[in-house]
Structure 1
């Protein structure tokens, strides 16, 4: 039976299931650097106050629906357990229908590093299997720089990543990230981007 109230549970990080195919590995690296600056007490406090939103799925699995970058960063830093905020219990749903229900609630983003929608079985079963999407790193860095506002739209950063995918070359992104950021800032403030979540129309910096 589904609980009407979110529940807190402690789960081993290695057992968490992703609900997306990619992350921005550059953003993961940034989160690792931030973690490394914390002392032991600060790390403990950070873990105590951070809850990963998750869905309980079939066969006792927990699927996180946000904070994949932080989760992967913690795993690479050898953190063993984290707290989950269970938003919904779907453990009773037939496995064949589970992802359809997740998709209906916008709790899954089955798109690859080229922005192409894939079958649900392409979603990794472990956080360390997430693939790199450099455009997701670009979108994350642009938000931190104030190029657009944080928004509650599910997977909003991926919408920004897709916007830049056809406008900024992968070669530029790889060879000169700073130059790609300058271009992204201008594009992000343009009228072409006004449909994107958090759009402000302002060039910052």
Structure 2
């Protein structure tokens, strides 16, 4: 087991990273790509990457399974950045594949849900970062947090939990037709009592 007090940071090819989820919000990826381009223009890409280390779990065949920052990894891939720094939070490389995936799931290091919010078999998780598919509600959730709709929270995959809440209340066609209008609806929903069970909820209180 890796000692979390002594992180070891290692460069790994982005294209070799393994996802632990099925989707990303492509609008979120676009924002990360813009950040990378701005840093590159200032010749500070190295400093940028040094501040954005990707946590991974070592799995069978010593493959690096990403547990966070999927959007950054996808953005780096699309921007042609070859390597990214990773830190191993747990070494489970001795496990067989089925046991490994089961442990990932039960430790909250996996989110096997598709763009419709349906739980899928482990086999549905892409083998590469480039195969992650778009969930527009994940983009809404990310933008909503930046707007102050809810607070950043340590709950695993908290923004996916918000995405699923919004998916059930905002029509997908409405999101595609007018993202800004959908965001206004999302913000209103986020401040309502129906959302008070969600991680990071910061709606109005009587205190």
Q: TM-score range by the shorter chain?
A: over 0.9
- Distance (Å, rounded) in 2 between the aligned partners of 1:136 and 1:109: 13
Match of 2:118 in 1: 116
Answer yes or no: is the 8 Å Cα contact 1:58–1:90 preserved in 2: yes
- Distance (Å, rounded) in 2 between the aligned partners of 1:57 and 1:107: 12
**What are the Cα deviations for residues 152-189 of structure 1, in whole angstroms up to 9, with x where unaligned?**
10000000000011100001100001110000000000
Match of 1:32 in 2: 33
Answer yes or no: is the 8 Å Cα contact 2:2–2:88 preserved in 1: no
Match of 2:55 in 1: 53
Match of 1:127 in 2: 129
Task: Tell me the matched-pair count.
Answer: 201
Report the secondary structure of 2:65's partner residue: strand
Match of 1:20 in 2: 21
Mapping for residues 86-97 of structure 1, pairs under 5 Å: 86-97=88-99
Match of 2:8 in 1: 7
- Distance (Å, rounded) in 1 between the aligned partners of 2:203 and 2:23: 27
Match of 2:101 in 1: 99
Mapping for residues 174-185 of structure 1, pairs under 5 Å: 174-185=176-187
Deviation of 1:95 (Å)? 1.3
Deviation of 1:40 (Å)? 4.7
**What are the Cα deviations for residues 80-103 of structure 1, in whole angstroms up to 9, with x where unaligned?**
001111000000011121110111
- Distance (Å, rounded) in 2 between the aligned partners of 1:48 and 1:35: 12
- Distance (Å, rounded) in 2 between the aligned partners of 1:36 and 1:29: 11
- Distance (Å, rounded) in 2 between the aligned partners of 1:66 and 1:114: 21
Report the secondary structure of 2:126's partner residue: coil
**What are the Cα deviations for residues 51-88 of structure 1, in whole angstroms up to 9, with x where unaligned?**
10110000120001000001100110000001111000
Deviation of 1:13 (Å)? 0.5
Match of 1:199 in 2: 201
Mapping for residues 160-171 of structure 1, pairs under 5 Å: 160-171=162-173
- Distance (Å, rounded) in 1 between the aligned partners of 2:2 and 2:81: 29
Structure 2: unaligned runs, 5 residues or longer: none
Match of 2:148 in 1: 146
- Distance (Å, rounded) in 2 between the aligned partners of 1:180 and 1:78: 32
Answer yes or no: is the 8 Å Cα contact 1:58–1:93 preserved in 2: yes
Report the secondary structure of 1:86's partner residue: strand
Answer yes or no: is the 8 Å Cα contact 1:7–1:87 preserved in 2: no
